[in-house]
Amino acid sequence: MSILTATATANANIALIKYWGNRDDLLRLPSNGSISMNLDGLFARTRVAFQSSLSQDLLILNGKKETGKALTRMVSFLDLVRCQANTDLNALVNSENSFPTGAGLASSAAAFAALSLAATHALGLELDEGELSRLARRGSGSACRSIPGGFVEWLPGVDDRSSFAISIAPPEHWDLVDCIAIVEPQPKTTDSTEGHHLADTSPLQSARLADTPRRLDICRQAILKRDFDALSAITELDSNLMHAVMMTSSPPLFYWQPSSLHLLKEIQDWRQHGLPVCYSLDAGPNVHVLSHGDAAAQVKDRLEKFPGVLQVLTAKPGGPAHLK
Ligand code: DP6
């Protein structure tokens, strides 16, 4: 019996300029470019073992055997890898998240970035960073941004070859901290994949897309110049724009909980009183609160005392996906 195995680790990421909507759902070609920061310590570690003795792919996630949607999605992704490697071997995939399960942080970005690296390495494919990012994109769009390190931009491209992510600054470039206020431990009701399908039903999406190159420029420059005020303004605007599109889609998607909104107002108040801090929300109610390294301890302390906040996770800028 032959076993081809590899283990890889990849961080989750928080988008500062969000990906929302696809030009091509099958290829996951995004309607707009996006920028994110990898989250150090919030990772998926995935071991892949291709073995001739297996009659089908198996997925163990945080110690639990998965069936249904999660397994089907992984099998479709492994089919792409098998096609590139010209093999029909099935795999046993064992993946653990470093962050608490039940925190509502199910990160497909970390999962598919780690799976891309482990599966291709196990089968002896030697992909460069751009090729790996393109492959990870096919599993989950945001996963392409978890392949390079630090602060990352996903170049939307025009086709499969030209749509991948690159690092715009290494993790040590800026000591930002993301304090993630968990307000709702349940998994989200409408997952991102379904949400992307609805984006174009909002009359606001075309305006959001038309303005995205401007926001990308401002965000990229703010990162390069370490300008927190500029970053705060553009990050909050971009998050609000995405949620405005979500809330005006058919059917509408409301990801915020009352405690999310209470927090947004509180964070604006903290900033007006001199604390360098801003918020961003993905497709869920948990609030990502960004601040400088110097202010992070105070931000975490305040968040922990805030009514409705169940737990606060913190992460600095993280490195690239890597083996082991
Ligand atoms: C709101 O990458 O999770 O987090 O490609 O269907 O897996 P799929 O979608 P996904 O979408 C991420 C949406 C977002 C914004 C972002 O991370 O850019």
Nearest to 41 by CA among 62, 12, 63, 61: 12
CA 108 to ligand 1 centroid distance, Å: 8
The domain locations on the chain are 3-171, 173-315
The pLDDT value recorded for residue 293 is 86
Closest approach atom of ligand 1 to CA 282: 1
Q: Which residues of 243-260 are buried (b: 16+ CB within 10 A; e: fewer)?
A: bebbeebeeebebbbebb
Q: On the CB side of 57, how many CA atoms lie within 13 Å of its CA?
A: 23
The pLDDT value recorded for residue 132 is 98
Q: Which two tokens stand for residue 184?
A: 């709702």
Least confident of 99-103, 106-110, 273-277: 99-103
| Ligand 1 mutation pick, 215, 282, 286, max ligand atoms within 8 A of CB | 282
Q: What percent of the chain shows pLDDT beyond 70?
A: 97
Please report which confidence band the pLDDT of residue 102 belongs to, taking 50, 70 and 90 as the band edges: low
CA 9 to ligand 1 centroid distance, Å: 19
| Ligand 1 mutation pick, 19, 80, 137, max ligand atoms within 8 A of CB | 19
Least confident of 57-66, 92-101, 136-145, 277-286: 92-101
The pLDDT value recorded for residue 46 is 98
Residue 187 has pLDDT above 90, yes or no: no
For range 213-241, the mean pLDDT:
98
The pLDDT value recorded for residue 188 is 58
CA 191 to ligand 1 centroid distance, Å: 9
For range 205-221, the mean pLDDT:
98
* First-residue to last-residue Cα distance in the chain: 24
pTM of the model: 0.97
Going by alpha carbons, the residue nearest to atom 4 of ligand 1 is: 282
Closest approach atom of ligand 1 to CA 143: 2
Closest approach atom of ligand 1 to CA 34: 18
Please report which confidence band the pLDDT of residue 234 belongs to, taking 50, 70 and 90 as the band edges: very high
Give the residue carrying structure tokens 């491209």.
157
For range 109-114, the mean pLDDT:
97
- Looking at the domain 173-315, which fold is it? Alpha-Beta Plaits (3.30.70)
CA 143 to ligand 1 centroid distance, Å: 8
Residue 99 has pLDDT above 90, yes or no: no
Q: Which two tokens stand for residue 262?
A: 């209470």
The pLDDT value recorded for residue 256 is 94
Going by alpha carbons, the residue nearest to atom 11 of ligand 1 is: 192
- Looking at the domain 3-171, which fold is it? Ribosomal Protein S5; domain 2 (3.30.230)
CA 80 to ligand 1 centroid distance, Å: 20
CA 12 to ligand 1 centroid distance, Å: 11
| Rounded (to 5) percent helix, strand, coil in the chain | 40, 25, 30
Three-point CA angle 163, 248, 137, nearest 5°: 15
Q: What residue ranges line ligand 1, CB within 6 angstroms? A: 15, 18-20, 28, 34, 108-109, 140-142, 192-193, 196, 282-283
Residue 106 has pLDDT above 80, yes or no: no
Closest approach atom of ligand 1 to CA 137: 5
Please report which confidence band the pLDDT of residue 105 belongs to, taking 50, 70 and 90 as the band edges: confident
The pLDDT value recorded for residue 190 is 87
CA 18 to ligand 1 centroid distance, Å: 8
The pLDDT value recorded for residue 312 is 96
Amino acid letter for position 85: A
CA 55 to ligand 1 centroid distance, Å: 32
How far is CA 258 from each of CA 135, 284, 309, rounded to the nearest angstrom? 38, 12, 11
For range 256-278, the mean pLDDT:
96
Q: What is the mean pLDDT of the chain?
A: 96
CA 248 to ligand 1 centroid distance, Å: 18
